């Protein structure tokens, strides 16, 4: 597997953003590492988020509390100083003196740690009481009625509220307003307010928060990266094991996993290798067995054939001279001759079948014209067809150009199909069709005989199966012919299909794929001929008539 | 003149039966059941044809075939129980002219033997030209310039068949019929193997044949006269 290729593929996938959800789903389902890392990232992010939010809140609270204590202390001190100044003053009904007192208060108030101060008259009824003052933009509307009521109603208690204060540039900053009553001689109660901004605290807080987020994000990435790396050390051996198993399954029995260290993965590798050893040895045993089987078949072949040859020669000689014998002996010689031939055919077919079973059959392919081959086979079987009074017609719209096939095997298949058709065709014409397309060449053999039921048609390729045991056999079939034909067709990578209907006859279609094409099993000749008129289009001039009166049930 | 046939087979029953068949047809027969002795028996008897079983004790048929071929072009027909590709091709490559698969019938056996024993086709008394070779049909002789090339009767017949009709492309089936006497579809490997053997003897460069040229998908034809 090439990394460059993989990365190119990934880039291509990234470009096609519409397919992202699909790709992610695929990765989620298909990659343990992707899934685990994503899960780890998600859970870590959640945990970090929770921890940092808690931390941020705690820090914020702490910062606020300390600032609050500081400002409350500052405000109390300043108010106390102002009150002391007021208490020590002697006014005695002089309005100017009272005014001066307030000026003094504002001077004192300037000593506070903020320049936002305000003194508001509580009792507006006293004629002597002068207007209050505000500095630093702490206007009356910044003060909540609740705060003012609290300050007004209680004598010398401090009250505070959080508020947004103007920052002098038209914006606002978070701040605290602290208020307390001030007793001005002759003028009654005033409310003294100080506004403290929390800009420093806010700045510290935002710095802390930014730091926390950066650290959090880095932490999440780090954990994701770590889990990716850690998982790679776990999943790479798994992926390697998967790839090795696939190669093993493909028949590379020699592949093994590398055993590193002594951990669980090493145990996996060792178990895998033990399994592969066991599989390899078992397959080798089976192969040896198959070899033994093949040798046995070959030996049996030789051992049986030599005596059979002697018997054959003897029976042929006896048969040739049977006129010289008395009728009984002559008949015996005839029977012997016929049965020896039957035995021989059976032996040949059995050996062929056992070769398929042992998998020791090889094709000897050469470019062959299917149409030509069909013509040859029909010519060679003309005599048999004549004996049955059967007319064999060849229709070949295609299939002339040579296709790679083993002509001996294909010829055997066609001979078999044609022999069956002649035997079961009830003397009606037989149509042999040859056609081809880009992917395959096909040959169909259609008889218009009795046909079979669908369940019988399913079994025609079974060994030693006969459609109707009671029927007379005129061609010495062994019951293995169609099994061998099917084996031959499959050996070519092709198919042998059958269609049959009672009273309409049977249609066998042999399909052989052209080399180098991806044959999907569809034949240029459909097995089901449809309505019996389908052959008209192929240039059949004489209609094939099926005498209705002759239509009998088969059994 | 009765032809003498050497039957090399370790199965005495089969050998005897073959003997009966052949004698009925008027052939003279000699037997040898031991592979190791087969070549000596052949040297002593000088038969017109050898029927050779492939599987023999002592020395196997292919080895015997190779040794006889080294000394003579006598027709050899193999008897084999195995139709497996490798065995048949090995037998043909070692020099056998033809093979018969067990079990065979007497007519087939006799027909094969007669084809191999028939006198070479007397197409004309002329000398044929093929490539840079001259083929003297009557004298059964092939020459390149003054050098005589020795061919077995079968190889000679194959070459004459091609040379007699230089315009004709011969399919393997046509050659099987004309040279081997098969009138039905037979094993075209016979032709392939013997064309290879012939080329090995007559071609200057067997990988680039000029005498027996291949016509792809059809068969063979005689090379142009030089």
User: Residue A214, Cβ neighbours under 10 Å: how many?
Assistant: 10
Q: Is the pLDDT of residue A475 over 60?
A: no
Residue B125 confidence (pLDDT): 64
Could you tell me where in chain B the CATH 3.40.50.2300 domains are found? 4-117
pLDDT for res B28: 93
- Give the pTM: 0.55
* Ranges for all domains in chain B classified under CATH 1.10.10.10: 127-222
Q: Which pLDDT score, from 0 to 100, does residue B18 have?
A: 93
Class of domain B4-117: alpha beta
Same domain flag for A124 and A165: yes
A55 inside domain:
no
My answer on whether A26 and A84 are in the same domain is: no
Domain with A118, as residue range(s), is 74-204
- The per-residue pLDDT for A443 is 93
Q: What is the mean pLDDT of residues B37-57?
A: 89
Q: In this structure, are A408 and A516 located in the same domain?
A: yes
Phi, psi of A538 (to 5 degrees): -90, 10
Confidence of residue A476 (pLDDT cuts 50, 70, 90): low
Most confident of the following: A223-227, A353-357, B45-49: B45-49
The percent of residues in chain A predicted with pLDDT above 90, rounded, is: 11
A422-455 confidence digits (pLDDT tens): 888 888 889 999 998 888 899 999 988 888 888 8
Q: Give domain status of residue A484, yes or no.
A: yes
Mark whether A468 and A490 lie in a shared domain: yes
Burial of A11 (0-12, 13-18, 19+ CB in 10 A): exposed
The beta strand positions in A138-289, using DSSP E, are 159-166, 172-184, 188-197
Residue A372 lies in a domain: yes
CATH of residue A328's domain is: 1.10.287
In a domain, A397, yes or no: yes
Tell whether A135 and A178 lie within a shared domain.
Answer: yes
Average per-residue pLDDT for chain A:
81
Give chain A's end-to-end CA distance (angstroms, integer). Answer: 63
* Interchain CB distance below 8 Å, B106 and A316: yes
The pLDDT confidence band at residue A41, using thresholds 50, 70 and 90, is confident
A61 occurs within a structural domain: no
> With an 8 Å Cβ cutoff, are B17 and A362 in contact?
no
pLDDT higher at A256 or A354: A256
A51 located within any domain: no
**A287 and A393 share one domain:** no
Q: Judge if A296 and A324 occupy the same domain.
A: yes
Q: Do A310 and B14 touch (CB under 8 A)?
A: yes
pLDDT in the model for residue B83: 67
pLDDT of residue A141: 78
- Beta-carbon count within 10 A of A107 CB: 11
User: What's the whole-number mean pLDDT along residues A158-176?
Assistant: 81
The pLDDT confidence band at residue A288, using thresholds 50, 70 and 90, is confident
Question: Where would I find the H helices in B94-188?
Answer: 106-117, 153-164, 172-175
Q: Which of A25-34, A65-74, A470-479 has the lowest mean pLDDT?
A: A470-479
Number of domains in chain A: 4
Is residue B69 pLDDT above 80, yes or no?
A: yes
DSSP strand E in A139-187: where? 159-166, 172-184
> Is the pLDDT reported for residue B200 higher than 60?
yes
As a residue count, chain A comes to: 555
Mean pLDDT along residues A497-522: 86
Residues A26 and A88 in one domain: no
Residues of A in CB contact (< 8 Å) with B are: 298, 301-302, 305-314, 316-317, 320, 344, 362, 364, 366-367, 376, 380, 402, 407-408, 411
Q: Report which of residues A140 and B21 the model is more confident about.
A: B21
Cis before B103 (ω within 30): yes
Class (C level, CATH) for B127-222: mainly alpha
pLDDT value at position A538? Answer: 47
Q: How far is A338 from chain B (nearest CA, A)?
A: 13
pLDDT classification of A13: cutoffs 50, 70, 90: low
Per the prediction, chain B carries an average pLDDT of 86
Residues A314 and A368 in one domain: no
Instruction: Give the pLDDT of residue A510.
Output: 93
The whole-number pLDDT of residue B120 equals 59
Which residue is associated with the tokens 């035995």?
A343
Render pLDDT for A98-131 as a digit per residue (tens, 0 to 9). Answer: 777 777 777 877 777 777 888 887 766 666 667 7
Which residues in A lie closer than 8 A to residue B105 (C-beta atoms)? 312-313, 316
Report residue A555's pLDDT band, with 50, 70 and 90 as the boundaries: very low
Report the side by side order of strands in the sheet with B76-80: B28-32, B4-8, B49-53, B76-80, B98-101
Domain identity same for A140 and A98: yes
Residues A292, A441, single domain; the answer is no
Backbone angles phi, psi at A347, to 5 degrees: -60, -45
* Span A380-401, average pLDDT: 88
Q: Show residues of chain A in contact with B113, CB under 8 Å.
A: none
CA distance to partner chain B, nearest, from residue A309 (Å): 4
Chain B partners within 8 Å of A308 (Cβ): 102-103
Q: Are A338 and A370 within one domain?
A: no
Q: Which of A95-109, A159-173, A255-269, B2-16 has the highest mean pLDDT?
A: B2-16
Q: Which of A204, A230, A252 delimits the end of a domain?
A: A204
**CATH number for the domain harbouring residue A125:** 3.30.450.20
Residue A301: which of B18, B82, B217 has the nearest Cβ?
B82
For residue A473, what pLDDT band results from cuts at 50, 70 and 90? low
Whether residue A234 lies inside any domain: the answer is: no
The whole-number average pLDDT for the span A533-539 is 48
Within a domain: A22: yes
Average pLDDT of the segment spanning A525-539: 62
């Amino acid at each position: 597997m090439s990394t460059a290729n993989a990365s190119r593929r990934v880039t291509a996938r990234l470009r096609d953003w519409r397919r992202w959800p699909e790709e992610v789903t695929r990765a989620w389902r298909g990659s343990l590492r992707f899934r685990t890392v994503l899960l780890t990232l998600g859970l870590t992010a959640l945990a970090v988020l929770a921890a940092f939010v808690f931390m941020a809140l705690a820090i914020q609270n702490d910062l606020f509390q300390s600032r609050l204590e500081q400002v409350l202390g500052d405000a109390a001190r300043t108010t106390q100083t102002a009150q002391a100044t007021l208490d020590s003053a002697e006014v005695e009904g002089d309005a100017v003196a009272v005014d001066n007192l307030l000026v003094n208060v504002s001077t004192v108030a300037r000593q506070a740690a903020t320049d936002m101060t305000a003194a508001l008259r509580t009792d507006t009824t006293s004629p002597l009481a002068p207007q209050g003052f505000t500095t630093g933009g702490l206007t009356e509307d910044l003060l909540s009625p609740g705060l003012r009521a609290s300050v007004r109603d209680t004598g010398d208690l401090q009250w505070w509220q959080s508020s947004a204060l103007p920052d002098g540039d038209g914006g606002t900053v978070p701040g605290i307003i602290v208020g307390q009553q001030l007793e001005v001689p002759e003028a009654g109660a005033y409310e003294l307010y100080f506004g403290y901004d929390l800009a420093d605290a806010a700045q510290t807080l935002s710095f802390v928060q930014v730091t926390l987020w950066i650290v959090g994000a880095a932490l999440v990435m780090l954990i994701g990266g770590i889990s990716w790396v850690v998982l790679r050390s776990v999943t790479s051996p798994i992926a390697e094991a998967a790839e090795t198993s696939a190669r093993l399954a493909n028949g590379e029995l020699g592949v093994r996993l590398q055993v590193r260290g002594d951990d669980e993965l090493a145990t996996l590798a060792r178990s895998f290798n033990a399994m592969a050893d066991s599989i390899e040895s078992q397959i080798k045993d089976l192969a040896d067995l198959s070899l033994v089987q093949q040798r046995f078949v070959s030996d049996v072949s030789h051992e049986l054939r030599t005596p059979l040859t002697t018997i054959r020669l003897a029976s042929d000689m006896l048969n040739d001279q049977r006129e010289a014998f008395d009728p009984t002996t002559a008949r015996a010689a005839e029977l012997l001759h016929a049965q020896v031939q039957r035995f021989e055919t059976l032996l040949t077919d059995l050996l062929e079948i056992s070769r398929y079973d042992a998998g020791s059959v090889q094709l000897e392919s050469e470019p062959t014209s299917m149409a030509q081959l069909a013509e040859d086979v029909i010519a060679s079987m003309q005599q048999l067809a004549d004996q049955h009074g059967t007319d064999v017609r060849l229709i070949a719209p295609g299939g002339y150009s040579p296709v790679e096939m083993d002509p001996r095997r294909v010829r055997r298949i066609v001979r078999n199909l044609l022999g069956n058709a002649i035997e079961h065709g009830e003397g009606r014409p037989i149509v042999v069709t040859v056609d081809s397309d880009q992917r395959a060449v096909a040959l169909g053999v259609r008889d218009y005989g009795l046909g079979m039921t669908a369940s019988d048609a399913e079994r025609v390729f079974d060994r030693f199966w006969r459609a109707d045991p009671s029927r007379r056999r005129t061609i010495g079939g062994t019951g293995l012919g169609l099994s061998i034909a099917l084996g031959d067709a499959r050996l070519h990578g092709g198919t042998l299909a059958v269609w049959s209907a009672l009273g309409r006859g049977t249609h066998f279609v042999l399909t052989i794929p052209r080399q180098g094409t991806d044959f999907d099993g569809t034949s240029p000749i459909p097995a089901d001929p449809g309505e019996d008129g389908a052959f008209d289009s192929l240039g059949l001039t004489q209609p094939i008539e099926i005498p209705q009166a002759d239509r009998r049930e088969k059994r | 003149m009765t032809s003498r046939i050497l039957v090399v087979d370790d199965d005495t029953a089969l050998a005897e039966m073959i003997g009966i068949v052949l004698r009925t047809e008027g052939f003279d027969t000699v037997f040898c059941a031991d592979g190791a002795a087969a070549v000596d028996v052949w040297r002593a008897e000088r038969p017109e044809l050898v029927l050779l079983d492939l599987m023999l004790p002592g020395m196997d048929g292919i080895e015997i075939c190779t040794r006889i071929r080294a000394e003579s072009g006598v027709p050899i027909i193999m008897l084999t129980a195995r139709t497996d590709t490798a065995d048949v091709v090995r037998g043909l490559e070692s020099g056998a002219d033809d093979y018969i698969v067990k079990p065979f019938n007497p007519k087939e056996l006799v027909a094969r033997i007669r084809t191999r024993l028939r006198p070479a086709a007397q197409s004309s008394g002329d000398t044929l030209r093929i490539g840079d070779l001259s083929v003297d049909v009557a004298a059964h002789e092939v020459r390149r310039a003054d050098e005589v090339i020795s061919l077995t009767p079968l190889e000679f017949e194959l070459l004459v068949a091609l040379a007699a009709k230089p315009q004709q492309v011969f399919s393997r089936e046509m050659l099987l019929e004309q040279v081997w006497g098969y009138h039905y579809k037979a094993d075209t490997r016979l032709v392939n193997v013997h064309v290879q053997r012939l080329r090995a003897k007559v071609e200057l460069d067997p990988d680039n044949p000029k005498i027996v040229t291949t016509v792809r998908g059809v068969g063979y034809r005689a090379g142009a006269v030089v």
